[in-house]
Amino acid sequence: MILKAKVLGSSNLGIYLRVAGKYLLTPKGVSRSLEEMANKLNLKLVEASVYESRMLGVLTVANSRALLLPSLSSERELRDLRERLDIEVHILPTTKLTALGNDIVANDYGAIVHPSFTDHELDIIAKLLEVKVMRGRVGGIPVVGSLVVANNRGCLISPSADDSELKGISDTLGVECLKGTINDGVIYVRVGLVACDSGALVGFPTTPIEIENLAEALKIEP
């Protein structure tokens, strides 16, 4: 199921939302309709903040095993999420890269990360998410988490990806990747899309052709 949604009046919902296992993390004060949509996707809506920010999609990354928060997060935010989620929640102790949602894309099979992560940080990410990890770029751009959306069935990747990038990302995530856009031509697909294995939420400008393509990419019903 693919549903059109706005968050805080914006179709750039991927900035604000994060799927973490069976949960949809949202900023505080979102509309009741978003909770109804989450229920349709078999997700439980959980309101949260990270670094006192609403941009959960930008600042966090997750799979069904763990949610990773940036080093900017407070102990109170960490404690609150640990109390409310039944998956592991950890602060990733990185010094440079804190927009984890922009810098990492992950599913239950693998993770692609910004090339500037150190070997030690890669080891930590691999251990916490329990996946293999590879550095990567998409179209030469290092913010891979902005340009790729993956579930455990498939992957939608920016059309700027070259063949070698596409193959490396597909091999690491363990799913087939298809190229596409969101929100009527936006190549930063994470900006207007959040997905789980049962469906997705997309921004309102997303065209019927884009919806059909992302349904094929993520192996979900349109």
Strand partners, 113: 104, 135
Conformational region of residue 165, where left means phi above 0, alpha means psi within -120 to 50, and beta covers everything else = alpha
**pLDDT tens track for 90-123:** 999 987 899 999 999 999 999 999 999 999 999 9
Determine the Cα–Cα distance for residues 162 and 110; give it in Å rounded to an integer. Answer: 20
Of residues 60, 48, 57, 38, the one with CA closest to residue 200: 38
Q: What is the pLDDT of residue 102?
A: 98
* pLDDT tens digits, one per residue of 46-80: 999 999 999 999 999 999 999 999 999 999 999 99
pLDDT grade, residue 211 (50/70/90)? very high
DSSP SS3 for 90? strand
Share of the chain above pLDDT 70, in %: 100
Q: Does the 2-218 domain belong in CATH 3.75.10.10? A: yes
The pTM is what?
Answer: 0.95
Q: What confidence score (pLDDT) does residue 31 get?
A: 84
> What's 191's DSSP letter?
G
Mean pLDDT of the chain: 97
Q: What is the pLDDT of residue 174?
A: 98
For position 150, what pLDDT does the model report? 98
123-144: b (≥16 Cβ within 10 Å) or e:
ebbbebbebebbbbbbeebbbb
